[in-house]
Structure 1
Amino acid sequence: MINIFHSIHITSLKYSAQSSPEYSQYDEYIRVISSSTIQAPPSQNGGDSAQRIDLPPWDLQFLLLETIQKGLLFHTKNHQIHHLQHSLSSTLAFFPPLAGRLVITRHHDNNNHTTTATSHITCNNAGALFVHAAAENTSVADILQPNYVPPIVHSFFPLNGAKNHEGTSQPLLAVQVTELLDGIFIGFTVNHSVADGKSFWLFINSWAEISRGFLKPSKSPVFQRWLPHNIEVPIRFPFTEKQEAQQCSEKILNAPPERIFHFTKEKIVELKAKANMEANTNRVSSLQAVLTHLWRSVIRCKQVDPEEEVSYFLIIGARPRMVPPLPEDYFGNAALFGGVTVKAGELVVEGGLGKCAMELNKMVSLYSDEMVKKEYECWVRTPKLHLLDGVTGGHSLATSSSPRFDVYGNDFGWGKPVAVRSGGANKRHGKITVFAGAEEGSIDIEVCLPIEILEALGNDPEFTHTISS
């Protein structure tokens, strides 16, 4: 069902220039052509349109953060808005949570004067937001060619600035199709308390399949949340108006500059071999080697005091670590946060690549089935909602996403995308986003740091030797 609730209107979204001359030349306006609510066809909506999904700790921990925003750039004009709307409607029939809303219920205990909350998804088919827009002076090359991601890219995403807990009144899924001079950009915004990165791309992959003519997705999402037998639902957690107001007051209006660095398959193999040789092991993965190399380069360019501690945080997938493993297509959050802290001097000295990559490897290896369940049950006893400022800023770096996600296989019927970009959600200095590159085996890394550090990285011989322009 497609419900048009806005006629054509104009919005003047203009972005402030950053200090880099290259960054400042992309002041632009976005014209919003229409907005619509897309619902699953009632006859296909899984039968029970009011299905309830209680949120476990893995989902609840994201309530104070912003959404997931990722988008695809296509070098084509051969697309049909109505076809995308109808194929989205068909896809939502297989993903009822994304057409639903969050419910947050407050519980007041008069005896000890405390307030707690519980939360669940109601699959009520309230619908997803679909925005059709145009950036009439922007080309595909304007997005691809600059070293820095043009600020206009953030305007290609709907629901900018929305927090996940606002999914009680806002859509859990929003899509914006922005027409460019010679292509289109499809920006996807998904509530992070409903899905993680793996679930996010499972939905996009499924929509692309149905858009190409599949009757149903090739993979079936599993919506039942994993909960230990001894944990009662709904789970109560502290969530007050004061917390919400504090998080809103901390919002950063000017997103940090972003630069994308491309690592070819050959350079990744070199870095992995070097890291394993230095650590006298074969356990360091390609991604661990690349991220440690980036970490070293950033700290070297920042000229951090050798005795100062620096940290790197990773999101660690829980699906394969459980015994038995969670379903591959478990639709929800199944990830934990892990980190490594070392002295800056240990990181940047000769041999630091292997030593610190091995520290990352050891940290990830700690997350066995037993550790995952222990952290899960600990959260239930002492619930804590994440704040992004807790893992970024200062000399800390934090990585999200994964090169394993199928980004370039998303053909909606007019060919594969030429690039992937992320929106402004959860962007802070020190935020690192990892994507598969367009060529098989390559990796793209999006780095948010002060402009002077990004410039230094781009001019550092040891770092530039490992990237391609």
Structure 2
Amino acid sequence: MPLKTIHLSNIDQTAAFPVETVFFYETTPDGAESTFDIIERVKRSVSEELLVPYYFMAGRLHFNVETKRLELVCNNAGALFAGATSSLSLKDLGDLSAPNPSFQRLVLRAEEFGSLPETPIFTIQVTRFRCGGFSIGFMTNHSILDGKSAVAMLENLAAICRGEGPRNVKLHVDRSCIRARDPPQIQFEHAEYMKPTEASSLVSPDQPSPSSFVSMLSKNYEYEVASLSLDMIDGLKERATAGCSSFQAVVAHLWRARTRAVFDDPSETSSVLFAVDVRSKMTPRVPDGFVGNAVVMAMASARVAELTEQPLGFAVKRVREAIERVTDEYIRSAVDWLEVNKGMPAIGHGNFIVSAWWKLPFHELDFGWGKPIYGGPVVSVMHECVLLLSDGKGGINIWLALEEEEKMKSFLSYVYEL
């Protein structure tokens, strides 16, 4: 494949950080020997088949000092692969669905590399355990793939490993459908993004980090999991308003609970951000097989006092209004705002992002040994990000981190006030 450079959209520019996922699989009834070739099978599937249509995943990010933009150089530098064996059994790992920093050892991590040109955008690690079970850990860079396009790539890899060949190799890597207008036409405020000067922990624009969007590493934070069953979610929807979606009800409920736990001043403003898929909202529609970030941030805001004193329906209304604001014109205005201001999502100061992983079918990935007993993210590096994960039974597991133990205790008490 000859050297080529792929333009990254303004939305891609806001998401230049690694996303780490890990999937655990039990051995089949045939016994431990049935997985003896799993490492070689995955390696061969990636190198011989997956990276043909996904050739760009063997490239590297490059910071163009003239344009002050990240771009993807398809230089065939390679995706990284590692095979490992462990003397432990899967049962020795404890609760696989709980946030566990030690699972970072099951992923080839981007932070191990020094400079941007050396850092891979795609790594794979297969670890086979003593019992015959195994894990597959992936790292992808979010600036290249959003959630939907990452799932599509892993579904293709799973199909190859099963011997079926890739499902869909009609990929659309051209981001021109989400380019800024010339001249830019900013028609909305876009408080969901902030300028680099408003962020206290950004790197120099001339020396970007592969994870420049990540505002603070969460190594000193305590992680917790809160669980909402399907019945609990249905109860929230009944309390909220007619026609309320599960997403709206859960986000509104978490927003209120976290606000009560984090904010002390009732006159302050609390905000929650979340990604809205723009594939069907743009005119013309984003092409099928689009590879890249086809999402923009939406933000719901309210004064702490009214958010905590008003019923749940008040917060749901604000969340719904934020979603409804995302029209074709709003999306293009946001892209133009990012063109002018080179901003990032406005997290921090008590504001946070909710990421709805539960809508992505990671739990369906079958590499030839059935569905995973658990599949999802490794501990997030962002304490301003709350992850919503499927519990496999229609409910949601909520992963979050807070700096102070007392705030975490308060949040957990509020989130179960149903």
Q: TM-score range by the shorter chain?
A: 0.7 to 0.9
Describe the SS at the equivalent of 1:209.
helix
Does the CA contact (< 8 Å) of 2:252 and 2:315 recur in 1? yes
Asked if 1:83 is matched to 2:41, the reply is yes
TM-score between both structures, scaled by the size of structure 1: 0.74
Which deviations, in whole Å up to 9, do the C-alpha atoms of 1:294-345 show, x marking residues without a partner?
Answer: 2222233447343332221112222121112213431111121222221222
In 1, the alpha carbon distance for the partners of 2:165 and 2:300 equals 45
CA separation of 1:186/1:261 partners in 2, compared to 1, >3 Å: closer, same or farther?
farther
Amino acid at match of 1:437: D
Which deviations, in whole Å up to 9, do the C-alpha atoms of 1:182-215 show, x marking residues without a partner?
Answer: 4322221111221111111111111111111112
In 2, the alpha carbon distance for the partners of 1:366 and 1:249 equals 26
Percent same amino acid among aligned pairs?
Answer: 23
CA separation of 1:95/1:384 partners in 2, compared to 1, >3 Å: closer, same or farther?
same
Q: CA deviation at 1:356?
A: 0.7
- Number of aligned residue pairs: give it: 389
Does the CA contact (< 8 Å) of 2:3 and 2:74 recur in 1? yes
In 2, the alpha carbon distance for the partners of 1:221 and 1:123 equals 15
Aligned position for 1:286: 246
Which deviations, in whole Å up to 9, do the C-alpha atoms of 1:403-452 show, x marking residues without a partner?
Answer: 22111110000110122332345422x3211223312x332221122343
Could you list the runs of 5+ residues in structure 2 that have no partner in the other structure?
184-195, 197-202
In 2, the alpha carbon distance for the partners of 1:271 and 1:227 equals 36
Asked if 1:220 is matched to 2:174, the reply is no
Q: CA deviation at 1:140?
A: 4.0
Matches within 5 A, 1:384-463: 384-386=342-344, 390-392=346-348, 394-424=349-379, 426-428=381-383, 430-439=384-393, 441-450=394-403, 451-458=405-412, 460=413, 463=415
Which of 237, 240, 243 does residue 272 from structure 1 map onto? Answer: 237
Aligned position for 1:112: none
CA separation of 1:447/1:249 partners in 2, compared to 1, >3 Å: closer, same or farther?
closer
In 2, the alpha carbon distance for the partners of 1:320 and 1:220 equals 18
Aligned position for 2:227: 262
Aligned position for 1:18: none
Describe the SS at the equivalent of 1:408.
helix
In 1, the alpha carbon distance for the partners of 2:211 and 2:377 equals 25
Aligned position for 1:361: 320
Which of 334, 338, 347 does residue 375 from structure 1 map onto? Answer: 334
Describe the SS at the equivalent of 1:87.
helix
In 1, the alpha carbon distance for the partners of 2:372 and 2:211 equals 39
Does the CA contact (< 8 Å) of 2:260 and 2:411 recur in 1? no
Aligned position for 1:57: 10
TM-score between both structures, scaled by the size of structure 2: 0.82
CA separation of 1:184/1:143 partners in 2, compared to 1, >3 Å: closer, same or farther?
farther
Larger RCO: 1 or 2 (CA < 8 Å, sep 6+): 2
CA separation of 1:310/1:134 partners in 2, compared to 1, >3 Å: closer, same or farther?
farther
Q: CA deviation at 1:218?
A: 3.9
Matches within 5 A, 1:70-469: 70-76=21-27, 78-79=34-35, 80-89=38-47, 90-107=49-66, 116-137=67-88, 139-140=90-91, 142-144=93-95, 149-161=99-111, 167-182=116-131, 183-218=133-168, 220-225=170-175, 226-228=177-179, 231=182, 240-241=205-206, 244=209, 252=217, 254=219, 256-276=221-241, 281-282=242-243, 284-302=244-262, 304-349=264-309, 351=311, 353-380=312-339, 382-386=340-344, 390-392=346-348, 394-424=349-379, 426-428=381-383, 430-439=384-393, 441-450=394-403, 451-458=405-412, 460=413, 463-464=415-416
CA separation of 1:349/1:134 partners in 2, compared to 1, >3 Å: closer, same or farther?
farther
CA separation of 1:167/1:417 partners in 2, compared to 1, >3 Å: closer, same or farther?
farther
Does the CA contact (< 8 Å) of 1:75 and 1:140 recur in 2? no
Alignment RMSD, CA only?
Answer: 3.2
Q: CA deviation at 1:155?
A: 2.6
- Stretch of structure 1 that moved more, 289-298 or 135-144: 135-144
Describe the SS at the equivalent of 1:446.
strand
Which deviations, in whole Å up to 9, do the C-alpha atoms of 1:105-149 show, x marking residues without a partner?
Answer: 322xxxxxxxx4344323333221112234544634634278x52
Does the CA contact (< 8 Å) of 1:256 and 1:427 recur in 2? no
Describe the SS at the equivalent of 1:273.
helix
Describe the SS at the equivalent of 2:362.
coil
Does the CA contact (< 8 Å) of 1:197 and 1:401 recur in 2? no
CA separation of 1:437/1:240 partners in 2, compared to 1, >3 Å: closer, same or farther?
same
Does the CA contact (< 8 Å) of 1:73 and 1:140 recur in 2? no
Q: CA deviation at 1:72?
A: 1.5
CA separation of 1:250/1:274 partners in 2, compared to 1, >3 Å: closer, same or farther?
closer
CA separation of 1:303/1:372 partners in 2, compared to 1, >3 Å: closer, same or farther?
closer
Describe the SS at the equivalent of 1:127.
coil
